[in-house]
Amino acid sequence: MATATTESVVGDGAATTRGNEIPDARTGSDTRTGKGSKPPQEGKRTISFGKMLVWQSRGVSYTVATLILGYLTIYCTDTLHMPAAIVGSILLVSKLFDGVIDLVGGYLVDRTNTRWGRGRPYEWCIIGVWLFTWLMYSTPESFALPVKVGWIFVMYTMVNSLFNTFLNCGNVVYMVRAFPRKEDYTAINTWGGTLLMIPAVVFNVAFPTLMAKFAISPQGWSSLVGMFALPLAVIGIMRFVFIKEVTDADVQTHGEKTKFRDVLSVLRHNGYIYIIAFATFVFNIIINMGVQVYYFKHIVGDLSAMSILNAVMIVGIPLAFLYPAIIRRTSTTKLMIGFLFLSCIGYGINWFAYDNVPMLIVGGVLASVGSSPIAMVVALLIIDCADYNEWKGIPRMEGTLSAINSFAAKIGSGLGAGLLGVLLGMAHYDTANDSQAVPQSGLDMIRMLYTIVPLVMFAVVAFILCFYKLDREIAVIRADNEARRKEVEAEMAAEAAMGSELATVAEAETDNPSGSMSDGNEKDEEGGRSA
């Protein structure tokens, strides 16, 4: 699949306005083998629809797994009858592991060199995600509260801190080595991201209905999650099986191992990644708070209305097809800022809607559509940061950059779920007894978390994104990187030619070891005759 035009340059409004495409040295040769290849012609489609589907298969699996994690708090409070404050604390404490593990994970991915590639081997972690997610939702009802706490903590930490870490760190690393052109990245993260929205909408429509039918007991939750886990684990590993890494992005550091001081250098000198990480952090707080199900259960009083809202959200999917054109004419960050404004309007409508379902649908669609670019195009900004690293003379470090963003995402998701439990506990929300009514303070807290809190937080994100200046400079940065790449490739070609010439001379001397001695004897005989 291709974007609307093949002239788009990721995150670079200035370059696309001039209509100039920065050439990409990665399309010219495979730097690991030294074999040349014909670069793709402009206007030619380089990613087929079938290949796009295969590439996004792991994304489909990962997306659904993430959505299921969003129901963890209500599973713990309403099914396992665990206090909301304790549940929130479990999720928050689990995040203490993520800081170290994420940075170590990015470092390990950047140092990985196997016959399967650098980022590709970590695709197997999707199996671990589903296995431990199912185990988490299979907590035995007979467990005492301390054992339940320990079980949930261990399972959640394995899913989030271990397997998700390596999936996120390896994703961009895998992508830039599986596809040769920057236009491919735009297609994958915009049009391909649109494909991920379809199963997400289907899940959001179907799961509340299935939840009402099956998730009425701990055994029901286990069966429900198991129905998703097995097929989606198989789907998730398809990308590893069918798509290989075909190019080496690190031309300038060819043959060099990433050192830990390179990680520290990125942390010190690339401030742009922190802006991206902040946007990801806030986005994950909001989407992982899981407050929607509480809102429709206790304020609207009808979970089926939640399914209707999620079904109507499909109308926003076609807007994602406009992302490449908007990026081409403006920039990636301007796309995000503009859509965040729509999201804030949506949350404002939700505040005034209260339990009015039609108004909640309008507000919900705007809120969802407005925040979608953060999830879909943030990888493009990470690639920009990798180009910036290369321009600064340090390794590209896609794995480390992805680790920083992954760290922000997981801290945000854990903080969102944790804050929900803690704040509900502070508002005296208690379901230890099924017949116990939710107090007004609990209802007010649910309403604030569903409307005003995300409105304010997304407004702050839009403001912070205004300080991301890299997309104004990226055209010059990529041009400089391209010139350096050509120099490095020329040096490598010259070294290869010299090595070939020396090998030829050595081979000739090996074939005729007495040749030089015979020539010397002939000259001595001629000298004697002259005398």
Q: Find the Cα–Cα–Cα–Cα dihedral 492, 497, 500, 501, rounded to 10°.
A: -140
State pLDDT tens for residues 258-308. 566 666 777 777 889 899 999 999 998 998 787 888 898 889 888 788 888
User: Are 172 and 382 a contacting pair, CB within 8 Å?
Assistant: yes
Q: What is the pLDDT of residue 11?
A: 33
Burial of 403 (0-12, 13-18, 19+ CB in 10 A): buried
pLDDT of residue 22: 32
Query: How does pLDDT run across 75-126, given as a tens digit for each residue?
Result: 998 899 898 888 888 877 877 676 667 777 777 887 888 888 888 999 999 9
Inform me whether the pLDDT recorded for 43 exceeds 50.
no
Provide the pLDDT for residue 431. Answer: 60
- DSSP per residue over 30-95, as a string? -TTT--B-PPPPTT---S-HHHHHHHHHHHHHHHHHHHHHTTHHHIIIIIS---HHHHHHHHHHHG
Alpha-carbon gap, residue 383 to 16, rounded angstroms: 17
The average confidence (pLDDT) of the chain is 79
- Rounded to whole angstroms, how far apart are CA atoms 418 and 282? 14
pLDDT at 25: 35
State the amino acid at position 262 in one-letter form.
D
**All domains in the chain, ordered by first residue:** 49-248+266-486 (1.20.1250.20)
Q: Are 402 and 172 in contact (CB under 8 A)?
A: yes
Chain segment 392-412, per-residue pLDDT in tens: 887 888 778 887 887 888 788
Asked whether residue 30 carries a pLDDT value surpassing 70, the answer given is: no
Output 424 or 155, whichever has higher pLDDT.
155
Q: What share of the chain has pLDDT > 70, as a percent?
A: 81
Instruction: Please report, rounded to a whole number, the percentage of residues in the chain having pLDDT higher than 90.
Output: 27
Region 198-203 average pLDDT: 85
CA–CA distance, 92 with 65 (Å, rounded to integer): 19
Q: Which of 189-203, 213-227, 502-516 bottoms out in mean pLDDT, i.e. has the lowest?
A: 502-516
* SS3 labels along 188-219: HHCHHHHHHHHHHHHHHHHHHHHHHHHCCCHH
Q: Which two tokens stand for residue 240?
A: 């590893």
SS3 462: helix
For residues 97-132, b (16+ Cβ closer than 10 Å) or e, as one string?
bbeebbbebbbbbbebeeeebbbbbbbebbbbbbbb
pLDDT, tens digit (0-9, with 9 covering 90-100), for 489-518: 777 777 777 777 777 777 777 666 555 445
Quote the tokens at residue 181. Answer: 């052109």
Higher pLDDT, 461 or 319: 461
What is the predicted pLDDT for the residue at 13? Answer: 33
pLDDT at 387 over 70: yes
- Tell me whether residue 488 is exposed, middle or buried, using C-beta atoms within 10 angstroms of its C-beta: 0 to 12, 13 to 18, 19 or more: middle
For the ranges 32-41, 106-115, 456-465, the maximum mean pLDDT occurs at 456-465
The whole-number pLDDT of residue 37 equals 39
Report the SS3 class of residue 114.
Answer: strand
Alpha-carbon distance 229 to 126, whole Å? 10
Does the pLDDT at position 526 exceed 60? no
